[in-house]
Structure 1
């Protein structure tokens, strides 16, 4: 199929072709001017955090006003009654293409069968921030989505009232129509479009957000609009899009970050059937940010020929300054770093004095290696550069970053770059970075034809942006009653900022609010510090970011303290949370700028009552206080606040005699404020647990001679079906509070809970990840003074 035929197009409940849509005047061939066409007919409104406007200008934007205006949601009610909702975020399994239109349609009192969702192009002027990252799609825009639907509903009610000559208070919108309550007369939404385009927008007091009892879909079960195409193989991902005359490129990139080509012999590559050309891509000096690493591209008629051609290249590399990067040596460097004072991120009380006066002191060090996103779909992008225009199809989490980066890389105006967003076969942060998209655009320009760049699994592991390797040292003082009186936490990990700026010595203290300095524990003396760690490879966002290693270290250490205090881990954790209180951490010891996942501490303070609620719920639902588990089976608990949500987990494990760890059951309790789509929230927690199992048990990227050692799933371990839990029991706290994140917060507590369950089952403390073969022979070992399983 052509790119025209295979662009993503999701409707509810059926899926017409793009050609069908074009014949109705809704779309042009390439969707470049979608908003212009929307403005030619029907009722079109745009919503932002500043309000809702009807768009009457053909260019889809009103004349600028004094206040900031970054629309996020566009809703069009056609003359035929069809409702088209533009989704400005990317779909990668989290359900945004269902949840966003569901919220708008619910408030709008739309007929769901008449609704469809259209994927937006990357355009910050039309859609505001489109970066699908940080669990922000609902928590940042829920009020704007609701306001958009409620405003359209009020506008249509006003239109019906005008046509009937009655007061607006006498009519009510219901399921795609407006009813005159006294007489029972009805008018369909479609019949009201003409009037709705001419009357004033409803006054603010006329726009009423529904109460919880009035909602039909928000907060309730809702099938995904992408489910059928995803499960029948018709969904369109990055590698599915084709164009006439398209070529396929596979690239040999520098094996060491900052390396470059010295010489290349492409004679054998050019003899491979199907190979047409070999093209050098200039290396980008370190730090390379989102620009390509450079290397040698093989252009071919198909993917297999391109891969075989690349295999035939003979390249001599200069590996540069990072050629000595070695994971074993760097681990020692990180551990040495956390054994010395660092920059304070939070300081409360007098930690040295409290430690000196403690009845018992407990110290532990933890280590987590680099991790790969390892998403199911390796990255791919199709670009067509012609006549000064750049058109791109890609599975990108951030189409605006892609658009702007491509424009910078090719030195063209961003207005001449269009980015179409396909479905993402997993993202986890990898597809926020458009280096692969730049590669496709560069090669298309070089050869004068459409080019799809295809990364292999090996490319994804060896040349991607990795999750930070990290080391932690925690020390605590306990009084005679086992209460924590002092807490010292030092962490060291290379900063994401090192990918974008030179000479970055490590993370900054404000990054510690990603799960370290914002812990909900009631400890009178606390010091949380960041220590130096220089990057030697590309570091990038990864699901839950630094909260992963913070959650593993903190969750594990709390369990170690519970055993040192000779207390039940759940009881100890509840005691550590202390009295219910609400804390504005910007006024409670944060030394660095008080970042809070982009929110204010006033809107989203630290709330220990919410933390306590999820712990108690997880304890209750898991059967924590039931019969003691037999040897080889254990149960662990942890809680973590991240991305403005609170998640507690109780994980049951079974450790087999050969050291294999199985997770038969996990109980999850989540307080994320208002949850718009409970099904997707539960699915996100299930996926987070599986990902955390991989992070903890098997996944590891290591370096030797500056190069990644691993190559594919055969040596980069991910959780297999045998180990996957039979039961993931997710409990969502009902709330009308401000929404927090869902996609990211499930991973951090899982690491600590799994490690704690392993200790309960075997007596083996896991402080170095991955677990790997550390449990071999656990039945005969005494570890931490505890006989295995005792």
Structure 2
């Protein structure tokens, strides 16, 4: 768990500098260890930073709480403050949430990996408890009583003997003069006394979202700014041979045409090679861009075709690979088996397709740059822009807007770097606007993949041997330009931590070079691994003549905690200590039992209907999904979905429910229709008409169940996605007898 290493009073001037918000009262700063991302691409080089997080109490008793994470609908601007306010004993109606700027002092601000709560829960409680304690000390001085004679409640410190009250605002100035006590001396509320944590509090941004009074990156306006639309190379590595700007410059409102700097490898988050049209408004920029005449040298990646590449992966995946985890002799046991089963599963390239495409606005001076961006990683923006402009990170100010969806796309900083480059070249504030077509054709992509599974069964239908293989281009290639297959980090996402108990096991990987920009997407490699494992267990169940539920319970065995490192796997465990977050097979069984019981998935269905189930551990949480579908005349209709999660202690059940519902929709979009094709190195799809997401008429009734737990907080935003594909495809088989092993479903049936 994250621990506070240093807590101190912070000057109001420092608070203003750190947050951009003026405080008139008591300000508390806190130091928290850095939270390492799944990919350590944005390290600052320091293990600890001062003034990570702040709480400020004004004289009117308003409590300003900084949220250093990015809000994209998941509710983190509510969840983080809930934790602080609970231990502070604040009146929630008096809490004001302030968005933190990019600052290394906060530790990791990367809002991805489903880790915002789990990495900062302990530190947030400590900060709230420290502020409360200092206010209690101040009150005890005013009344000349011991600190044991006072307590905090709803923005007041109350005298236990007399019942007198002093407001937080009244005490703020005195509290600011008090030396903070040791962290070891802090006391915390018992969970049974929680009044804010665990409550379904509406998100703080809800009124503005409902009224449309919110500020997204596309809403930013800076006096004197111009607009940029960029024609980018359709193939990664493609270079400009020639540009004819004549027609573009004749479009009314177009100011200039600028060639972007040449992209180097590795691609990381650098802008793609391209030509920017600068104009007085977005429409003129788009019209001018269409008038450009560009001749490209598309380079080596123009030979990449996704169909041929997937066929190559599928052909190779049935051969022996490099083992990353093993026990016993899987190949000998497979040879000795009475019966063997084998299946290959594939998932195509996928793109994020959030409702709001990327956008960033930049102002650049000789010694300063200010950015407004819909970013999940403000410090990453700060670092990338500083490196691009030759500035120090402290000279780059990053303002975080609300995000109209993210799913991992907005953890990449290329669009912010584009804005900074163009602002410097034009000498004007520049807003870079990505269109939907830009986002689909020039983004970062979930890796295309192939998985192969084999099982050997004895004369009693017991699984005695298990071989599984995975192949996909690695996200690490984006950062080093060399890696040509799955990394241990990626294989830790639902593959190397596969929970099936079997005496003879071999988990293997195959090489797969990258040809387009690979980037994390919601639940990352758990997508393909959850689909393959959940489908294969269903196929084993059919072979055994048992329910999938019973087969899962049987295959999970009687082990309580799974130790995959003992079988040679370099398991990453989402960068958390395995002692704190073990692979608990009992929790997998429990969420599976919950969802089957609640959904009645083991009951017989009507003709042409079927239930499918699956279960998966990801981001330290356990999720099971049961789906009911109907298939008539080769048309699939998903009727209802049920999902259960064990995510440890839950801060805001309303947001957990919302995240699960969103995960079902996101997972269904991938399962039914998600596919990016690459032909001659370029992405074929361009918008929602050919990369569709789930429509309202396709959306089923969704039921969610949250397992109550006092365990450490785990992830919520991503874990709901992985079991969806297997659950739906298993249901389709039950409904019509067609086994779908290659996503998406609409390649096989009408959706």
Q: Which residue is 2:8 aligned to?
A: none
Which of 33, 53, 58 is equivalent to 1:78?
Answer: 58
Q: Which residue is 1:109 aligned to?
A: 89
> Is residue 237–residue 273 contact of structure 2 (8 Å, CA) maintained in 1?
no
Say whether residues 1:426 and 2:405 are aligned partners: yes
For 1:158 and 1:359, how far apart are their aligned partners in 2? 74
Say whether residues 1:293 and 2:275 are aligned partners: no
Say whether residues 1:755 and 2:725 are aligned partners: no
Say whether residues 1:700 and 2:675 are aligned partners: yes
> 1:67 Cα deviation (Å)?
8.8
> 1:148 Cα deviation (Å)?
0.8
Q: Which residue is 2:718 aligned to?
A: 744
> 1:190 Cα deviation (Å)?
1.0
> Is residue 629–residue 735 contact of structure 2 (8 Å, CA) maintained in 1?
yes
> 1:510 Cα deviation (Å)?
4.0
Say whether residues 1:637 and 2:613 are aligned partners: yes
For 2:253 and 2:13, how far apart are their aligned partners in 1? 36
Which of 536, 542, 557 is equivalent to 1:578?
Answer: 557
Q: Aligned runs of 1:137-152 on 2, under 5 Å?
A: 137-152=116-131
Q: Aligned runs of 1:9-88 on 2, under 5 Å?
A: 33-34=17-18, 41-49=24-32, 68-88=48-68
Q: Which residue is 1:119 aligned to?
A: 99
For 1:614 and 1:224, how far apart are their aligned partners in 2? 27
Q: Which residue is 2:692 aligned to?
A: 717
Task: Specify the SS of the correspondent of 2:698.
Answer: coil
> Is residue 270–residue 309 contact of structure 1 (8 Å, CA) maintained in 2?
yes
Say whether residues 1:667 and 2:667 are aligned partners: no
> 1:633 Cα deviation (Å)?
1.1
Q: Which residue is 1:653 aligned to?
A: 629
For 1:530 and 1:293, how far apart are their aligned partners in 2? 30
For 1:553 and 1:384, how far apart are their aligned partners in 2? 47
> More deviation in 442-451 or 521-530?
521-530
> 1:388 Cα deviation (Å)?
2.3
> Is residue 110–residue 174 contact of structure 1 (8 Å, CA) maintained in 2?
yes
> Is residue 18–residue 103 contact of structure 2 (8 Å, CA) maintained in 1?
no
> 1:648 Cα deviation (Å)?
0.5
Q: Aligned runs of 1:189-588 on 2, under 5 Å?
A: 189-204=168-183, 206-586=185-565, 588=566
CA deviation map 1:436-482 (0-9, x unaligned)? 10000000110110000001111111110011000011101122232
> Is residue 27–residue 37 contact of structure 1 (8 Å, CA) maintained in 2?
no
> Is residue 584–residue 602 contact of structure 1 (8 Å, CA) maintained in 2?
no
> Is residue 31–residue 48 contact of structure 2 (8 Å, CA) maintained in 1?
no
Aligned length, in residue pairs = 730
Q: Which residue is 1:768 aligned to?
A: 742
Which of 622, 633, 653 is equivalent to 2:599?
Answer: 622
> Is residue 243–residue 295 contact of structure 2 (8 Å, CA) maintained in 1?
yes
Q: Which residue is 2:573 aligned to?
A: 596
Structure 1 residues 189, 465: closer, same or farther in 2, change over 3 A?
same
> More deviation in 577-586 or 462-471?
577-586
For 1:387 and 1:410, how far apart are their aligned partners in 2? 9
Q: Which residue is 1:62 aligned to?
A: none
For 2:372 and 2:503, how far apart are their aligned partners in 1? 54
Task: Specify the SS of the correspondent of 1:86.
Answer: strand
For 2:29 and 2:174, how far apart are their aligned partners in 1? 18
TM-score, structure 2 as length reference? 0.95
> Is residue 238–residue 273 contact of structure 2 (8 Å, CA) maintained in 1?
no
Say whether residues 1:681 and 2:656 are aligned partners: yes
CA deviation map 1:590-624 (0-9, x unaligned)? 33x32110101111111111111101101110112
> Is residue 266–residue 314 contact of structure 1 (8 Å, CA) maintained in 2?
yes
> 1:270 Cα deviation (Å)?
0.9
For 2:218 and 2:92, how far apart are their aligned partners in 1? 31
Say whether residues 1:95 and 2:75 are aligned partners: yes
Task: Specify the SS of the correspondent of 2:590.
Answer: helix
Q: Which residue is 1:19 aligned to?
A: none
> Is residue 615–residue 625 contact of structure 2 (8 Å, CA) maintained in 1?
yes
> Is residue 520–residue 607 contact of structure 1 (8 Å, CA) maintained in 2?
no
Q: Which residue is 2:709 aligned to?
A: 735
Structure 1 residues 205, 387: closer, same or farther in 2, change over 3 A?
closer
Task: Specify the SS of the correspondent of 1:139.
Answer: helix
> Is residue 71–residue 128 contact of structure 1 (8 Å, CA) maintained in 2?
no
> 1:277 Cα deviation (Å)?
0.7
> Is residue 547–residue 602 contact of structure 2 (8 Å, CA) maintained in 1?
no
> 1:200 Cα deviation (Å)?
3.0
TM-score, structure 1 as length reference? 0.90
CA deviation map 1:257-285 (0-9, x unaligned)? 10011011111111111111100102212
> 1:338 Cα deviation (Å)?
1.2
Structure 1 residues 349, 510: closer, same or farther in 2, change over 3 A?
farther
Task: Specify the SS of the correspondent of 2:423.
Answer: helix
Stretches of structure 1 lacking an aligned partner (at least 5 in a row): 1-24, 52-65, 779-790
> 1:79 Cα deviation (Å)?
2.3
For 1:199 and 1:419, how far apart are their aligned partners in 2? 33
> 1:206 Cα deviation (Å)?
4.3
> 1:631 Cα deviation (Å)?
2.4
> Is residue 19–residue 99 contact of structure 2 (8 Å, CA) maintained in 1?
no
CA deviation map 1:702-752 (0-9, x unaligned)? 011111111111111211111101x21111111110111000100001111
> Is residue 613–residue 731 contact of structure 2 (8 Å, CA) maintained in 1?
yes
Q: Which residue is 1:14 aligned to?
A: none
Task: Specify the SS of the correspondent of 1:323.
Answer: helix
For 2:510 and 2:220, how far apart are their aligned partners in 1? 45
> 1:152 Cα deviation (Å)?
1.1
Task: Specify the SS of the correspondent of 1:443.
Answer: helix
Say whether residues 1:165 and 2:140 are aligned partners: no
For 1:27 and 1:206, how far apart are their aligned partners in 2? 28
> Is residue 63–residue 95 contact of structure 2 (8 Å, CA) maintained in 1?
yes
> 1:630 Cα deviation (Å)?
1.9
> 1:519 Cα deviation (Å)?
2.1
Structure 1 residues 199, 114: closer, same or farther in 2, change over 3 A?
same
For 1:27 and 1:509, how far apart are their aligned partners in 2? 45
Structure 1 residues 171, 401: closer, same or farther in 2, change over 3 A?
same
> 1:34 Cα deviation (Å)?
4.4
For 2:540 and 2:341, how far apart are their aligned partners in 1? 7
> 1:97 Cα deviation (Å)?
0.2
Quote the RMSD (CA, aligned, Å).
1.9
> Is residue 662–residue 722 contact of structure 1 (8 Å, CA) maintained in 2?
no
For 1:563 and 1:162, how far apart are their aligned partners in 2? 73
Structure 1 residues 26, 377: closer, same or farther in 2, change over 3 A?
farther
> Is residue 509–residue 529 contact of structure 1 (8 Å, CA) maintained in 2?
no
Structure 1 residues 273, 147: closer, same or farther in 2, change over 3 A?
same
Task: Specify the SS of the correspondent of 1:697.
Answer: helix
> Is residue 32–residue 418 contact of structure 1 (8 Å, CA) maintained in 2?
no
